Amino acid sequence: MDILFADNHVIAASKPAGIPTQPSDGHNDSFEDRVKEWLRERDGKTGNVFLHALHRLDTPVSGAVLFAKTDKALSRLNASMRDKKHKKVYMAVVEGTFKNSHGILKHHHSHMRFMARITDKPHEGSKEAVLSYEVKAVDGGRSLVEVTLDTGRYHQIRGQFSHTGHPIFGDEKYGSKNRMDNGAIALHHFRMAFVHPVSKEFITVTAPLPDVFPFSRFSEQDTF
């Protein structure tokens, strides 16, 4: 278990790609269950363990997940998330190269059945989707990009980069011609900052890039 931060109120851990964040229909395994079991073993508990994810990563996505360990922490963290006091930074390997080293993507988004619909102009039921990106490195026609979300829409990063002709490596659902092991895609929740529910400190945690292709083609220096 790759623990990024832990105390009596919260725990942050790095989820591997290929498993859902929380229990769901059709899945007998979840990252939340794995962290619960890790806590049971660490603390020698036999009963139920309170643990609740504050946000979800898609099953094929890896990276930092924050959990509340108490009702009070859950309530306070949910409130600070609604107030947009949490910050999330993703790293993605996308196909192709960019003319500009950084930019802002603005599109219109709606949630279809297991897909995001992305258009340049508003469509029925759509909401604005905005993110900023910075190209950190290029290798073999692939780009490592740092992504910061301004809005948090369903499959937003995946859909927006696909719409611009740069699908995330391995994301066959959104047009990638490549495949990764275990159904993974090259999208990783790299850095997360949150207000601690008790101390009120601003905590920042970082989940190192997975040591798998195509992330392995880039160095730690590329993430600075």
Catalytic positions, written as ranges: 58
Show Cβ contacts of residue 59 under 8 Å, excluding neighbours closer than 6 positions.
17, 18, 19, 20, 21, 183
- Using alpha carbons, list the distances in angstroms from residue 126 to 27, 53, 73, 147: 30, 27, 33, 22
Q: How far apart are CA 92 and CA 142, in angstroms?
A: 10
In this structure, are residues 193 and 86 in contact, taking their beta carbons and an 8 Å threshold? Answer: yes
Amino acid making up residue 24:
S
Q: What are phi and psi for residue 100, nearest 5 degrees?
A: -110, 140
Residue 76's nearest CA partner among 200, 192, 191 is 200
Strand partners, 158: none
